[in-house]
Structure formats: C-alpha cells, structure tokens
Structure 1
C-alpha cells in the first residue's frame, strides 16, 4: 500500500499514492469546494487509512468543523484528530481546549499556532505511537492577510521540514487570484507538488501536479454533500 492517498480514487490511481514526507499546495478559486475536498481528505486519512490528522483552521471554528462531520454522518475517529482553532478567540467566543481542540489567539499568532501543532505532533507520534500524520492548514490566504510573505515563508519552512523529517503529509490551501504571483512562486519552493483546482463554464476541475512524472488529467468534479465525485475528464 502506498504511503498516503487522497481518497479520490481517480486521482490516486493516476499518481499511484503520495510519498512520505510530501508537502502539497491545494490551490483554487473561492467557492470551488476546496474546504469540502480538504475535509474529505481529512476524513479518508483518519477513518480509512488510520493516520493522525492535525488541522489548523483560520476560517471555521473547531466546533463548526466537528459539527459539519456529524451533520454529514461521518464518524471521525477523534483519538486521531486534532484541530488548532485560530478563529474562536478572534470572534470573542468561549474557547475551551480539550484533547481534540487547541486554541490559538488568532491567525497572526504564528508562534502560538506552531506550538499547538507541535503539541499534537508529539502526542500522536510519541505518546500514541501513530507514525503516519497529516497536517492540513486551511488557509494560508488568511494567514497572508495578517503577516508578510517572509514571515509566512519562515513559519512554513519549519513545518514543511518537520513533515519531511517525520514522513508525514502536509496539505496547505490557498486561494488562487488573491495573491500576487511572486508570493505564490515564493511559497511554491516549499512544496513537492500541487492539487490545482479551476472553474470554467460553471464546472469545477481538479488535477495533481508534481507528485508523478507528469501532471494528471483535469478531472471534472462535483460536491455532493460530503463527497467529492469525479464526473468526467478533460
């Protein structure tokens, strides 16, 4: 069995699995279902592949994310799921930590976010002896709104390095069209490959670049509830 898979079988079949230690940028326009795709990968990783999954959320509170999985009747194995919530405190909500949720003060607090990620890594890798971990950051675009590109690059450099060193998998979402090309090019240096999403004529397409000898075809997909359904290819 390959080291990591996305759970979208048409893409997995073409790329033949993802090597340990890979860092991937998930880039696409707003309203293209990126969040559902990331949740889908998260669920597949934790429930089907038995990886630990750490999600840093700068867009939704941890409570809302867990509620989303419940609403869609997806039983997340909570012993393998950790969420670093950068939203709740910013909105002035009551923020209580538990074994699944750690609270960072805001998306600006990269030091605090880093500490919380490290705590989850240590818990899964050292204490629970789960050797396969996925780190998802959703989204780099929010972090870039508050910090300059050099600061974000340094922050990511630490964690992409840790992903490589521990044989984990990192997936980092970013909005296309929201940042200048120089910023995207700077960040791309840290990644082994990309999951690219584009919208054309009210249709959404996805492909993977850099994780196999040549890019996958563009696959048309639809979001049905919590499912990512491939309906055709270009």
Structure 2
C-alpha cells in the first residue's frame, strides 16, 4: 500500500524502545497488575498527535473508558485519528465520541471483530499521515475465555498479516499468568517479537520491560515511565 520503505514507528523518550519497523506485530506480555495494558495503549495512541492513526480492539474496557484512559495518560492524543472496536458488551450505542466506534456484542464473534477491523482500517488509512495506523488489541487473554485456542491463533495471525501488508504496527496484550507456556508460545508465533513487562521493585519508574526478537533494541530489563 505504501511507496518505498516507510519510516519506523517511534515512541516517547520515556520508553526504552527503539523505533519498530513497519509491518511488525509485537506481543506485550505482563500480569494483570503490571502496566502492560497501559503500555499497549500508550504505544498505540501516541502516534495520533503527529497524524498517525490508532485502531483499538477493546475486550475489557468500553470505548468511552478507553478514550478517557488514553487522553488521561497523554492529553495530546487526537481522538479524530482513532478507531475503536468495543467488544466489552457494555453501554452499546450510548457513547458519543470523536473517534470512529464499532460495536461487537460478544467477544466470541471473531468474524464480526475481523469485519469491523477491516472497515475501520480502510476508513483510517486514507485519512491519516502516509497511511500509518497502529493497532492495539487488549487483550488476547480476554478473548481466550470465549474462543478455543486454534480460532484465537488464526485470528491473531490474520490480524498480524493484515498489519504487515499495510505497513502498520500491531501491539497485542497478553497476560502470561493466565495461560500455560505452550499457549503463550503458540500465540507468540503470530507476532514478530515480544515485550515483557514487570513491576519495578525499587525506583520511580512505572515498570520495567525487555524486548525479545526485534532488532536493534536495548538488552536486558529497562525501567520505563508512561506519560
């Protein structure tokens, strides 16, 4: 869809993550009480202030709460460059927002989620800077409660493939403590790399992260702070 080689996706100075190449999907893995999902929201929404698009698949938070969370963390987030698929099953049709909103009544409807993803992506792509769209899925673990692992893996792999073909960026959240190692490793195959998140025991940072499987990234655990 793009001409030439598009620029990599960049992140804030407080995140020890080097720019990630277009077409990449990363799995952000961290237990529920760590800032893993906040990191996904930040990585996905941060580009809207510079004209990029952000497309969220939200399974456990209404579109209204998701928008509030993104803007509370970073007031420069531009909701007019955002699309949200609300799969929470709460307050359907009640939200008036500048973002493009689609509703799916149940998390088990992967077909409906996929169709709405395609529709929102196609509407965002020509409206944002150079067709650059970041996709945040929060979360694979929540979806796994409603569908079997084969269907979930195929869904994640399909999303990753669409993101790759559009030179986008995918950021998928997973709570590894709710799955066995085999399941996490299987879902990891739908991504190009992994960002592991844990709490920081000492210091003022929000948490620590380390990047696996992506080139030119810092090695070992790094402290990070969210906006």
TM-score normalized by the length of structure 2: 0.85
Deviation of 1:220 (Å): 2.3
Q: Secondary structure at the match of 2:26?
A: strand
Contact in 2 for aligned 1:29/1:199 (Cα 8 Å): no
- Distance in 1, matches of 2:223 and 2:217, equals 18
Moved more, 1-10 or 61-70: 1-10
State the partner residue of 2:39: 37
Structure 1, unpaired ranges of 5+: 228-234
Q: How many equivalent residue pairs? A: 217
In structure 2, the CA distance between the partners of 1:202 and 1:142, relative to structure 1 (3 Å rule), is farther
Deviation of 1:215 (Å): 5.6
State the partner residue of 1:105: 105
- Distance in 2, matches of 1:81 and 1:10, equals 22
What is the Cα-based RMSD across aligned positions, in Å? Answer: 2.4
Higher-strand-fraction structure: 1
In structure 2, the CA distance between the partners of 1:214 and 1:120, relative to structure 1 (3 Å rule), is closer
Structure 2, unpaired ranges of 5+: 1-5
State the partner residue of 2:209: 206
- Distance in 1, matches of 2:54 and 2:166, equals 14
Q: Structure 1 segments of 4 or more deviating over 3 A?
A: 69-73, 96-99, 126-130, 199-204
In structure 2, the CA distance between the partners of 1:9 and 1:68, relative to structure 1 (3 Å rule), is closer
- Distance in 2, matches of 1:19 and 1:170, equals 11
In structure 2, the CA distance between the partners of 1:101 and 1:10, relative to structure 1 (3 Å rule), is closer
In structure 2, the CA distance between the partners of 1:27 and 1:167, relative to structure 1 (3 Å rule), is same
In structure 2, the CA distance between the partners of 1:216 and 1:8, relative to structure 1 (3 Å rule), is farther
State the partner residue of 1:65: 66
